[in-house]
Amino acid sequence: NKTKVLNLLSVSVLSVSAAVMASSPAVLMRLVASAYTVAEKAGTIVRKVLQSGELGIVEKTGANDLQTLADRLVQKSICASLSKSFPKVTIIGEEELPAEDAEEELLENGHSSLILQKSCPDQYASLKEEELVVWVDPLDGTKEYTEGLLDHVTVLIGIAYGGTAIAGVINQPFYNYQMGAGASLGRTLWGVLGLGAFGFQLQEVPDGKRIVTTTRSHSNKLVIDAVQAMEPHDVIRVGGAGNKIIQLVEGKASAYVFASPGCKKWDTCAPEAILHAVGGKLTDMHGNAYRYDANVKHMNSAGVLATLRNHEYYLSRVPQVVLQALPSD
Ligand code: AMP
Ligand code: MG
Ligand code: MG
């Protein structure tokens, strides 16, 4: 009899926990699922502003540090939408904007049900909203956007917990734009540590081939010296931190080398999470990890070194002058 009661008890406990799991997915997965749809809406805004022909360009710190109407509208859209659904999450966006309510048409309250169906990695299953920090780059590759290099552009939403980038969403609004009218325009990549990354086909550069990707609009002597020191077979110069990480996971480049300050936490959080979710690595030029707590300094002062494989090789080639010029925090 006792066994029977126990059995009944465990059956009901099981069904209760199954019901709880089915009805309330982990906060992290809800946030990623919402960020996915919010990033797709962002991509739509980025395309619309371009079509309008009125980019509304403003110089921030100089001619190589721009903001457009798309940067402003997308940041409003992402921050207002996510903070409405997740009021206790800390959200940090790149652009300094006047504090005013976002227009209704900018709000997005949808989510990806495909993402919600995935189970949350155990280590993140009980995270609370107030423990999460979201880093938003509404438009990465603004300089290239204004120059018509459209596939360099991405929208970045990174999620951090305990200082670590644990999840990320990247929308590429103009993916496929050179493929003609038949091809579907834009895509969204996403990933969670311990779960994997989705929305693209993981590929590696053939073993032994070194293809370095780096900045095209923020170069200087240190940047060039560091790239050369890697003894690359090929160098690609493109805009955007998001874009360069996509090149790594799609087998177009084997290392992203940027030996300069300039990249900020919102540039690297989402890309780092996706790269790490498939076994890659993003560090500063010394091999030290960046932290993404809400109160960290925004600038990635010691540069960016990112790889899918063979991080140690690239680290071992970083010149002394670079290490001295760019101390880790
Ligand atoms: P890039 O590879 O030059 O496209 O840079 C990647 C990201 O870092 C972009 O968001 C850039 O705006 C930013 N960035 C890099 N260097 C600088 C810089 N010197 N000034 C302002 N932003 C920079
Ligand atoms: Mg950026
Ligand atoms: Mg930006």
**Structure confidence by residue, pLDDT tens digits, 39-84:** 999 999 999 999 999 999 999 999 999 999 999 999 999 999 999 9
Atom of ligand 1 nearest to the CA of 140: 10
The residues that bridge with 235 in the sheet, in sequence order, are 212
Measured distance CA(110)–CA(50) in Å, rounded:
24
CB of 242 sitting under 6 A from ligand 1: no
Q: How far is CA 53 from the centre of its chain?
A: 27
Is 18's pLDDT higher than 70?
no
CA distances from 63 to 41, 59, 212, 265 (A): 28, 6, 26, 21
Q: What is the pLDDT of residues 155-185, one digit of tens each?
A: 999 999 999 999 999 999 999 998 888 888 9
- The residues placing their C-beta within 5 Å of ligand 2, an ion, are 137, 140, 267
Highest CATH level, class, for 211-325: alpha beta
The residues that bridge with 136 in the sheet, in sequence order, are 93, 157
Atom of ligand 1 nearest to the CA of 60: 21
> Domain 27-198 carries which CATH code?
3.30.540.10
Q: Where exactly are the structural domains of the chain?
A: 27-198, 211-325
* Token representation of residue 117: 């169906």
Angle between helices 27-52 and 69-85 (to 10 degrees): 160
What pLDDT band is residue 99 in, cutting at 50, 70 and 90? confident
What pLDDT band is residue 85 in, cutting at 50, 70 and 90? very high
The residues that bridge with 192 in the sheet, in sequence order, are 167, 196
Measured distance CA(81)–CA(83) in Å, rounded:
6
Is 28's pLDDT higher than 70?
yes
Q: At 326, phi and psi to the nearest 5?
A: -125, 70
Which of 137, 223, 247, 263 for mutating ligand 1's site (highest number of atoms within 8 Å of CB)? 263
CB of 129 sitting under 6 A from ligand 1: no
